[in-house]
Amino acid sequence: MPFSLLPSLLLAWAAQEPEVLEPPRPEPDLRVLFLGDVATAANGLPKMVAALAASSRLPWVIETEARAPEDATLERHWVAGRSTELIRSGDWDVVVLQESARVAAGNPVLMLRNGRLLAAEVRRCGARPLLFLPWAPSGNPEELERMEEACRGLAEVVGAPLAPIGSAWRALAEARPDWPLRRVDGRRPTRLGSYLAACVLLGWLADLDPRALDESLAAEELSPDEVRFLHELAARFVPPEALLPSPFGLHVDRVARTRVGLRWDRPDSRPAAWRVESRAADGEEPFREAARLKGSAIRWADTEVRPGAARAYRVWAVTAARRLTVPADGRPVAIEQALAPDQRCEISVLEGRIRLQQGEGEEELAAGDGRIFSAPAGGVLRAVARAAAKARIEVSVLPAAARVEAIPPLVVRTPD
């Protein structure tokens, strides 16, 4: 089953107008160095990751580079010197470390020693390590279990996340045994196998839900249903915070002339809360908040719709939320919230009135009001709240606006 990425840009005009300068490349949001063996090198996996990011609906620009000799091990990467020079010479955000399957399964002590050395060097140079669990060349489940155990042990020791590529391969092999993942030598992946690996890696690198990837840009000789299956399967092996809860788990529960009932699948990781938003299906008005629900909720009903109306809905998760009391004597309440680059912080007033100071700005907010702040350069949002009478506020961590806008809506029409 040949598997190849389609080009994302057509530059035929450049050949007709050679004097026109090509526009400058955008600055990357994420610079990633891959260190591995043939599992990393085959089919241009690092470039495949970057191409998938470029084709996604989210504004991620990922730049990748790789050093992956065919029979390399982490020991070779550490001892030979070229890989450590690359770590030190590049302004990397993430360095992906992939041990050979042979060492991961047969000599976990060796992997642990060199993995610790490389991870320490990565951190010393200001980057974050990400471990890559390879697949078992033999396809033997027991061999993969030994590799999983060894790689999880390394991840715990060095405090790094583990992208479970081998586990995703096993799940696909069980679900679709007729889909070829590896070539006859057992070590080299097919383009299909590399594509699945790229989907999982992108989830770990950019908190990107594979189900949000554009199906038309995935493969030339796979049907949309087959590509959708790969994206759904890859989503089982990315961090919970990467997953978009709608519309992939959003369903119509019951529809009447003046009522739309919605339900959604319960995620493996319970969020702090849910936000439900709606708008007219014609898209002429923006989405507006319709409900705030507890993290345990899996149902909600819109009882304000009209007969024959078409509404668009989306549901998304709030990853953290806490409530604070602002005393009545004017004493300041300090608010500090750590944020990832793709997160926002919302400070909303539940009861009473407050004066909210953030940076050099200050304003008065009443019950029902809220303000949303992007992640600051230092990664920690700081604000101060004061009140003349006792007030209650809520501090919530929201996904970036671009992530929410990337959620395709679920459209429901009520009967006349």
At 53 the pLDDT is 83
Domain boundary among 210, 242, 274: 242
> What percent of the chain is predicted at pLDDT more than 70?
86
Residue 330 sits in the same domain as residue 303? no
At 60 the pLDDT is 63
What mean pLDDT comes out for the span 95-113? 93
Position 20 in a domain: yes
Position 5 in a domain: no
What mean pLDDT comes out for the span 26-52? 87
At 258 the pLDDT is 93
Residue 211 sits in the same domain as residue 297? no
Residue 18 sits in the same domain as residue 73? yes
Instruction: Identify which has the larger pLDDT, 188 or 69.
Output: 69
Position 82 in a domain: yes
At 269 the pLDDT is 64
Rounded mean pLDDT of the chain? 84
Other Cβ atoms within 10 Å of 221 Cβ, number: 11
Residue 345 sits in the same domain as residue 313? no
Question: 195 pLDDT exceeds 60?
Answer: yes
Position 328 in a domain: yes
Residue 315 sits in the same domain as residue 327? no
Report the range of poorest mean pLDDT among 140-149, 215-224, 267-276, 312-321.
215-224
At 206 the pLDDT is 81
Residue 142 sits in the same domain as residue 40? yes
Angle in degrees, 0-180, between the axes of helices 108-124 and 82-89, rounded to the nearest 10: 30
Question: 298 pLDDT exceeds 80?
Answer: yes
Question: 121 pLDDT exceeds 90?
Answer: yes
> What percent of the chain is predicted at pLDDT more than 90?
44
Question: 26 pLDDT exceeds 80?
Answer: no
At 215 the pLDDT is 66
Question: 126 pLDDT exceeds 70?
Answer: yes
Q: What is the pTM of this model?
A: 0.58
Residue 19 sits in the same domain as residue 168? yes
At 1 the pLDDT is 40
Question: 10 pLDDT exceeds 60?
Answer: no
Instruction: Identify which has the larger pLDDT, 15 or 338.
Output: 338
The CATH number that applies at residue 278 is 2.60.40.10
Place of tokens 């709030």: 318
Question: 402 pLDDT exceeds 90?
Answer: no
Report the range of poorest mean pLDDT among 2-6, 152-156, 182-186.
2-6
Residue 256 sits in the same domain as residue 277? yes
Position 7 in a domain: no
The CATH number that applies at residue 334 is 2.60.120.10
Residue 26 sits in the same domain as residue 59? yes
Position 3 in a domain: no
The CATH number that applies at residue 151 is 3.40.50.1110
What mean pLDDT comes out for the span 195-203? 92
At 218 the pLDDT is 55
At 264 the pLDDT is 84
Separation of alpha carbons 292 and 277, rounded Å: 9
Most trustworthy range by pLDDT among 146-155, 313-322, 346-355, 396-405:
346-355
At 196 the pLDDT is 93
Question: 246 pLDDT exceeds 90?
Answer: no
Q: Which of 316, 320, 333, 331 is closest to 393 using CA atoms?
A: 333
Position 299 in a domain: yes
Residue 105 sits in the same domain as residue 51? yes
What mean pLDDT comes out for the span 2-9? 35
At 240 the pLDDT is 67
At 135 the pLDDT is 86
Burial 343-373 (b: 16+ CB within 10 A, else e): bbbbbbbebbebbbbbeeeeeebeeeeeeeb
Report the range of poorest mean pLDDT among 1-10, 16-25, 116-125, 148-157.
1-10
Domain boundary among 197, 226, 242: 242
Position 225 in a domain: yes
Q: Which of 48, 90, 55, 83 is closest to 69 using CA atoms?
A: 83
Domain boundary among 191, 207, 242: 242
Instruction: Identify which has the larger pLDDT, 4 or 44.
Output: 44
Residue 389 sits in the same domain as residue 409? no
Residue 138 sits in the same domain as residue 212? yes
Confidence label for 241 from pLDDT (cuts 50, 70 and 90): low
Separation of alpha carbons 375 and 28, rounded Å: 18
Indicate the number of domains in the chain.
Answer: 3
Q: Provide the residue range defining the domain that includes 224.
A: 12-242
